[in-house]
Amino acid sequence: MKSRSLPNIFLNYYHTPSPWSLEAFSCITRAGHFLAGPDYKMKRTSMPGHELFLCLKGRGYLEQSGNYESVSAGQIGWLNVNHPHAHWADREDPWEVYWLRVQGSQIEATYKILSTMLPCLVFNFTSVERIGEEYESVFEIMRERPKIAEARLNASMAALIALLFESLNEEPSYPTYSTGIGKCVDAMRFAYHKPWKIAELARLSGMSEPHLFRVFKKETGLSPMVWLRRERMNHAKRRLVETNDSIAEIAEQVGFEDPFYFSREFKRVSELSPRAFRESEVRHSSILNTKKGN
């Protein structure tokens, strides 16, 4: 009979990544499935990486930097285990968990992005089965160990990360923009070529300029002018590919008076000049059409 303090472990897999893969991939190094005992608690100073717990049933708790959050069925809790942390089961309703540990530069960058969007990294899902399939694909890869295991594990992790980002749009607190911000977004989306000023957006939103800036960044993750610049670049890319208009004409069409400034901004955002972007997209389209013809 198992001790009340030990988990009932159903699956337990290990993977030792190659050194290069830590730069190229999100590397899953541990994964498993367990049912915690009522008195089970894991407390550690640090481990390399991050751990993601999918609660299948019951309830558990995560502790990070002196704060703790509950995780119940249908939720994923994320722990940055590079720092002091702990996790444990609810004594009255111990959790059953799919979990994995992941390392690499990509997952560190993802964590930084998500931690600016949520006060605590606990994600809600309407379907445990759907998110569970991604964990089960990880278990299968780690069990079978194909030649391209690291690439396949990276793909599974990417699919899981995509579901985490999708879940943010299903949260009750993130359904739509607030009324004032929604008015600004709709106006800039419709008239992206217009020379918008913060003062004008503030009047449209019914907020002061500092308040607009704070709320807009909270709801979109960007400042109003950065949001507008990205919207303009999306339209510029479409025009570069779909028309023969000159770069100066496209700059004016999307709201830039100075084509040289437009080109600098385009390259800063896209890492290619407008001309290089157009040539690259046209060349790629030609290659695809040739392949279809064959």
In sequence order, what are the residues at sequence separation of 6 or more whose Cβ sits closer than 8 angstroms to the Cβ of residue 10?
Answer: 32, 33, 34, 35
Least confident of 112-116, 147-151, 187-191, 285-289: 285-289
Q: Are residues 51 and 29 in the same domain?
A: yes
- 15, 149: one domain: yes
**Residue 6 has what pLDDT?**
67
CATH number of the domain encompassing residue 32: 2.60.120.280
Give residue 151's pLDDT band: very low, low, confident or very high (50, 70, 90): very high
Say whether both 14 and 120 belong to one domain.
Answer: yes
Same domain? For 16 and 158 the reply is yes
DSSP H or E segment with residue 145: none
- The reply to whether 160 and 211 lie within a common domain is no
Q: How confident is the model at residue 147 (pLDDT cuts 50, 70, 90)?
A: confident
Q: What is the pLDDT of residues 182-225, one digit of tens each?
A: 899 989 988 999 999 999 999 999 999 999 999 998 888 889 99
**Structural domain total, the chain:** 2
Both 26 and 75 in one domain: the answer is yes
Q: Which domain holds residue 106?
A: 8-168
Mean pLDDT of 8-19: 90
Q: Do 49 and 100 sit in the same domain of this protein?
A: yes
108 pLDDT higher than 60: yes
Write down which residue in 168, 191, 224 finishes a domain: 168
Please report, rounded to a whole number, the percentage of residues in the chain having pLDDT higher than 90. Answer: 51
Residue 130 and residue 269 in one domain: no
The yes-or-no verdict on residue 242 having pLDDT over 70 is: yes
Q: Does 173 fall in a domain?
A: no
Same domain, 199 and 114: no
- The residue ranking higher by pLDDT, 174 or 63, is 63
The arithmetic mean of pLDDT across residues 124-134, rounded, is 87
Contact 95, 36 (CB under 8 A): yes
pLDDT(262) > 70:
yes
Helix (H) or strand (E) holding 77: strand 75-80
Q: Domain for residue 3, yes or no?
A: no
Exposure b/e, 244-260, CB count within 10 A at least 16 = b: eeebeebbbbbbbeebe
State residue 3's pLDDT score: 42
